[in-house]
Chains A and B, each alone.
Chain A
Amino acid sequence: MSKLAVNIPGLSLKNPIMPASGCFSFGQEFSELYDLSRLGAIMIKAATHQPRLGNPTPRVAETASGMLNAIGLQNPGVDHIIEHELKFLEKFDVPIIANVAGTAIEDYTEVAEKISQAPNVHALELNISCPNVKEGGIQFGTNVESAVRLTESVKRVSKVPVYVKLSPNVTNIVEIAQGVGEIADGLTMINTLVGMRLDKNGKPLIANKTGGLSGPAIKPVALNMIYQVRQAMPDIPIIGMGGISTVDDVLDYISVGCDAVAVGTANFTDPYVCPTLIDALDARVATMGLSHIHDIKGRAYQ
């Protein structure tokens, strides 16, 4: 499968396919369905300093070719994740990308310092774009200065490369990407778009009122944002995500300049989607006569 192997800072990926954070929990449930060592990497669910209970229900709602979620970063806290969830994942030959979240800079640095020392964590994904928590999250990701300051602080304490997950809920994503791109080792994009669905009585269906829109509906938005960022920053590693469910989607993301891709919502539609995509991509690269998947990287703007 060397035609699919990808190397980016901290990460030696067997293939460019990985589950996106928040859609895979910590891998335990999926390990009963297939061998997690097949995956390029795993982006685990966001870790915060203290355990978080998350938001009231309903937390999810389907929308046309997509879904809204407002889970609210429910997780058992970084210490528990290191002792149990990451420990469990050690038996698989797969690099872990740990998603780090918080409400203040100190929360982020505390989590980043601890979790980046776990032996199987090969990179961090800095979550400055969660739209579903009252404090922190997206507020760091919509302002260039605060995004840069947070990235600097985390970069200082992290033992592994730091990727920053960008929010699409901004006026100018290239500006933010260029700001954090000066410091970060790579970018992951995009997080969910803030959205709303109403119930039959005309009230917001999700208890949090708004939720993050994901799924095939957001793919055109993500493609365009990556297309813009990649041309402004030709060298920065980018892991792309947003509505990927087929091998053609994967090719589109590589075509706009991604190094690798993450699959989110599609894991709910079909829990076997990641291994299915890996096999399909392997076959497609052969059919297309490519010597490596990156032969088509960036072809959208070349």
Chain B
Amino acid sequence: MKHLMRILSVEEIADNIFEMVLSGEITKEMKVSGQFVHIRVSPYTENVLRRPISIANVDADKETLTIIFRAEGDGTTKMSKMQVGDDLDVLTPLGNGYPLEDFNHVLLVGGGIGVPPLHELSKQLNARGVKTTHVLGFNSKKDVFYEDEFNALGDTYITTADGTYGKEGFVTDQIELLETEFDQFYACGPKVMLKVLNDSMDIDGYISLEERMGCGIGVCYACVVPKPDGSYAKICSDGPVFKKGEILL
């Protein structure tokens, strides 16, 4: 589960949003979208917790995977300054990803730094012949990324909260305008967005959560989310992808 992966590139693709490409043989076994990598950001004692980052793209032939993260705190800022050629200590693949089913047409909804895992998901769905429509929400024009990549896979709509790019408003404002009959939705983004989708969508779907994590393997009980029966699910090992209704948001 622990692997050394070599950094092939680090690039700022939007305001403080970085794309990093890593190479390693483990990519051959990474077949499920929605799983995550848990990255040790320092070999020294200063950072005791790893950083969980979702996977935006896997290329098993080239043995590479792509992660996208926002440089926000101490750990992700360190990651954004790492050098090409450095080796990263990575735990992967972790968590349960998105189940793939043979639908006709599905809706993928992403918010901000929740967008990346939907790219690998969309690739896998399209490879199975499932049609995908993407609605991606950002705060502002400077935050938008991967529009072209999603456009190559299916119809893609961008919303920005301040209206500086795409449709002004939230992803739900755009979803209301779509006339397609979707069989299923898949979503990843901030909790408030997921809650609105969970409550408003009348079709089944899967949502992926993010939370401060400790271990990433289900032992520390840090990243829990309540279930309807009053107990807790662990986001890292029971999720991060849950079926709509399986958890309380």
Contacts and interface: CB of A to CB of B under 8 A. Distances in A.
13 contacts: A25-B221, A54-B221, A59-B222, A60-B222, A62-B48, A66-B48, A69-B214, A71-B220, A71-B222, A265-B48, A267-B215, A270-B40, A272-B2
Interface string B39-63: 0100001111110000000000000
Contacts, number: 97
Interface of B is mostly: loop
Interface string B205-224: 00000011111111111111
A266 B219 CA distance: 13
A29 B224 contact: no
A23 B214 CA distance: 10
Contacts of A212: none
Interface in A125-180: none
B75 interface: yes
B37 interface: no
Nearest to B218: A29
B74 interface: yes
Interface string B222-242: 111100001110000100000
Contacts of B225: 57
A97 interface: no
Interface of A: 22-25, 29-30, 33, 53-54, 57-62, 64-67, 69, 71, 74, 215-216, 243, 245, 265-272
Given A54-B221, A71-B222, A60 B45 contact: no
A191 to B, nearest CB: 16
A272 B221 CA distance: 19
Contact of A59 (B48, B74, B89, B224): B224
B192 interface: no
Given A62-B74, A66-B48, A215-B48, A54 B220 contact: no
Contacts of A267: 215, 219
A269 B49 contact: yes
Contacts of A270: 2, 40, 89
A250 B226 CA distance: 38
Nearest to B212: A58
Nearest to B237: A29
B113 interface: no
A176 B229 CA distance: 42
A62 B223 contact: no
Contact of B214 (A29, A53, A268): A268
B152 interface: no
**By CB atoms of chain B within 10 A, which of A25, A243, A268, A272 has the most?**
A268
B177 interface: no
